[in-house]
Amino acid sequence: MQSRRNGTTYAGLAMGVAAVSFAAVLIREAGEAPALAIAAWRLSIATLVIAPLTLLFARRELLRLTYRQLLLAFGAGGLLAVHFAGWIASLERTSVASSVVLVTATPLMVAVASRVLFKEPLARRVLVGIGLGLAGSVAIAWGDLGRGGREELLGDGLALLGAVAMTGYLLIGRRLRATVPVLPYLTVVYATAAALLLVGAVASGASLAGYSGKTYAFLVLIALAPQVVGHSLLNWSLARVTATIVSVSVMAEPVASTLLAYLILHETPPVTSLAGGAVILAGIYLALRRPRRPVGADGRSAKE
């Protein structure tokens, strides 16, 4: 029974990572819209999809949220808004590979904070896997530095800001999802992020309308695939596994995004991105690999 539950959880995680991996390519295709406008549209459409489902299937749970739970959910929504504002803006200044790798370089921060705040144990293999993942991220950032572009480095910095915000977002989600069902949680978080991004877009003078039909189509795809499917599955899994496991799994996103950027956008990644991606995958494998159970004298595996 437990193995079946674990299988379902990791399958959901894999689907979530696959869905969010399309975000960078779809955002590039919607490049006619400013960064803040893309983020605002993404969360607004996602809210319009999730909120009716919550009212239909989890209305009572939504109304039962405590003041403290609401405050934490509002905080998670604010961090999600910062995450998307920083990351999407970074895509205007650096490569898809570099931006996605750096914004997902959160596992070490999540692991340390989870250990301090939630007393969650950290296996040595997880720490080594995180270290490999961060080494791969450094390799990709070094490639941008080698090209000597200030815009690329600014893009890397914005991506790192998104990474810090994502860390807080996952940690709050890990705490709340232990007691709050996924639909009410997503409704409050997505609505909060959408409102903040809309205010930010208007305040910055970013145009929220007047795009081509193609851009609107990609804005809808960004909301439905990476957000409604991808981020929602990641939040669903937070009630089943630690925030560290989720953040380590998301490190596979840059590898998939780089491949998609090559196939769809014909954006050839630099050698440093390819090498860094390989190291990241090795780190993910090591961190998520289940240790072998010791075999007793009777030939049976000992229970963990």
- Encode pLDDT of 107-134 as tens digits: 777 877 887 787 777 777 777 887 887 7
Contact predicate 211/32, CB 8 Å: yes
Contact 134/108 with Cβ under 8 angstroms? yes
Instruction: Tally the domains of the chain.
Output: 1
pLDDT of 100 > 70? The answer is no
Give the number of C-alpha atoms closer than 13 A to the C-alpha of residue 148, restricted to the C-beta side: 0
Structural domain contains residue 15: no
Structural domain includes residue 2: no
> Sorting pLDDT into bands at 50, 70 and 90, what band is 169?
very high
CB-side neighbour CA atoms (13 Å) of 93:
20
| pLDDT for res 293 | 52
pLDDT tens readout for residues 265-279: 787 777 777 787 788
- pTM for the structure as a whole: 0.82
55 occurs within a structural domain:
yes
Kindly report, residue by residue over 252-266, the tens digit of the pLDDT.
Answer: 777 787 788 888 878
Other C-beta atoms within 10 Å of 2: how many? 6
Three-state DSSP at 60 gives: helix
State the pLDDT at residue 13: 93
State the first-to-last Cα distance of the chain, in angstroms, to the nearest integer.
Answer: 15
pLDDT in the model for residue 104: 61
Is 192 inside any structural domain? yes
Residue 215 lies in a domain: yes
Q: Are 145 and 153 in contact (CB under 8 A)?
A: yes
Lowest mean pLDDT among 33-37, 71-75, 259-263, 278-282: 278-282
pLDDT of the residue at 200: 94
Range of the domain at 240: 21-119+149-244
What is the average pLDDT value for the chain, to the nearest integer? Answer: 84
Q: Is residue 125 part of a domain?
A: no
Q: What is d(CA 259, CA 266) in angstroms, rounded to the nearest whole number? A: 9
pLDDT of residue 247: 84
What is the predicted pLDDT for the residue at 69? 97
User: 64 vs 302, which has greater pLDDT?
Assistant: 64
Residues in the chain: 304
- Please say if the pLDDT value at position 161 is more than 80: yes
Please give the residue that has the higher pLDDT: either 278 or 181: 181
CB 15 within 8 A of CB 229: yes
- The answer to the question of residue 140 being in a domain is no
Q: H helices of the chain, where?
A: 2-20, 23-29, 35-57, 59-63, 67-90, 96-103, 107-118, 124-147, 150-176, 182-204, 213-222, 232-237, 243-250, 253-260, 271-288
